[in-house]
Amino acid sequence: MKILIVGSGGREHTLAWKVSQSPLIDKIYAAPGNGGMADIAECVDIKDTDIKGLREFAQKEGIDLTVVGPEAPLMAGIADEFQRYGLRVFGPSAKAALLEGSKVFSKEFMKRNGIPTGDFKVFDSYEEAVRQVDTYGFPVVIKADGLAAGKGVIIAGDSEEAKDALREMMIERKFGSAGDRILVEEFLTGTEMTVLCFVDGETIVPMESARDYKRIFDDDKGPNTGGMGTFSPNDVYTPDIEEEFRTKVMLPVLEAVKNEGIEYRGVLYFGLMVTGDGIKVLEFNCRFGDPETQVILPQLESDLVEVMNSVVDKRLSKQHIRWSDKSCVCVVLASGGYPGSYQKGLLIEGLEQETGEEVFVFHAGTRKEQGRYYTNGGRVMGVTALGTDMQEAREKAYAAAGSIHFEGMQYRRDIAK
């Protein structure tokens, strides 16, 4: 098989790495890919949002399966376009991708279908939002409706912070058109948890649980990022919680998707909060998470290509998906200044050092030039390790992270602590 992986981040490098282990694969292409992906895939200079260009490339090269990493091309209808031309694609339709692409659509979908989530109000008027921002007291969650690269969520501790957030989103247009409408949500307390699921439209199968860290600094301080690290499995995901998730969230969501005529084939990501009142859904993503993919796929013992083929062909129910009993930790190394402005093109040193068994470095924002790697993004790479328990995985990941260096490099020291 020839496979095309769309995207250029750490998630896509992890997908390429896992796919390369399948005996079904003859050739891997990545569009546009990154420095690390270039070691296992042929990188093609096509933007991940150039739907027509990607489709024409898939036709010309006889691609057997296209795997879409990021949310933007899914929202732009890449799955619909590929299917229209008879091309096999792993990823949901544009309509299905609204579960991530519009926070308002997502919350209203949950409300309509009785999926447990926090209370919310929707505003398209700045003045009205300012007037009612204290509806749920403080702290309060303020979200841009549209895609904002994982950064369009602000937790405001008081009225002043809330008004600043509303002004940034709705007046200053910090997230562009994503802030045309905003959500004001009640702040839920509890423990966060992530569960990704394979979905073929008829069957839904959960992967290992995980937990990610959004804020830039230790102890969850500083602004939100795309994710600074993660671990799996999440110890909060006990058998009782797993059963509650299955019966009150996972299966009802599948039923609701079917009832609303939404064709969903791909990965559905559940961002969850385990509260005193049970599990609540914080958000959906319509694809593999980043950096959750970096800790989930190293635990997968089944052939990922076989699983993805079964999703595309709607025969997921016949798959028996096997997982390792090991723990996994990923520490993200980021550019100085991220998630604000940062410098690119800095030499990355230490990658040639032997990192040890079951330690993987998944590139996110890198480029490769004459055999050397340079920074090319905010999140530069995810250093990932498997261990017999969480402590061993954590120690291995941090030991490997300590051997890598580039100017201004920053990372959290409390992942999986």
Domains of the chain, earliest start first: 2-95 (3.40.50.20), 119-186 (3.30.1490.20), 191-318 (3.30.470.20), 327-401 (3.90.600.10)
Helix (H, G, I), strand (E, B) or coil at 198: strand
pLDDT tens track for 178-206: 999 999 999 999 999 999 999 999 999 99
| pTM of the predicted protein model | 0.95
pLDDT for the residue numbered 356? 74
What gap in Å lies between CA 283 and CA 211, rounded to an integer?
A: 14
Copy the structure tokens of residue 379.
Answer: 């999140």
| Confidence band, pLDDT 50/70/90 cuts, at residue 224 | confident
| Span 335-371, pLDDT tens digits | 999 999 999 999 999 998 767 789 999 999 999 999 9
Q: How confident is the model at residue 147 (pLDDT cuts 50, 70, 90)?
A: confident
Cα–Cα distances in angstroms (integers) from residue 227 to residues 224, 289, 333, in the given order: 8, 9, 10
Q: How many CA atoms lie within 13 A of 189 on its CB side?
A: 3
Query: Residue 315 and residue 311: Cα distance in Å, rounded?
Result: 6
Each residue of 61-118: pLDDT tens digit? 999 999 999 999 999 999 999 999 999 999 999 999 999 999 999 999 999 999 999 9
Q: Which helix (DSSP H) or strand (DSSP E) does residue 15 occupy?
A: helix 10-19
Cα–Cα distance list, 234 to 69, 110, 210, 334, 348 (Å): 23, 24, 5, 24, 31
For strand 221-224 and strand 278-285, is the pairing parallel, antiparallel, or unpaired? unpaired
Q: What are phi and psi of 277, to 5 degrees?
A: -100, 15
Residue 357, pLDDT score: 84
Q: How many CB atoms lie within 10 A of CB 84?
A: 10
The packing angle between helices 103-113 and 94-101, to 10°, is 100
Ranking 19-33, 144-158, 222-236, 280-294 by mean pLDDT, the lowest is 144-158
Strand arrangement, sheet containing 182-186: 120-123, 182-186, 140-144, 153-156
Distance between start and end Cα atoms, the chain: 41
Average pLDDT, the chain: 96
pLDDT at 122: 97
What are the C-alpha distances in Å from 108 to residues 114, 120, 204, 280?
A: 10, 9, 22, 14
Mean pLDDT for 23-39 is 97
Q: Which residues contact 382 (CB under 8 A, 6 or more apart)?
A: 10, 14, 229, 291, 294, 330, 331, 332, 333, 361, 362, 364
pLDDT band at 150 (very low <50, low <70, confident <90, very high): low
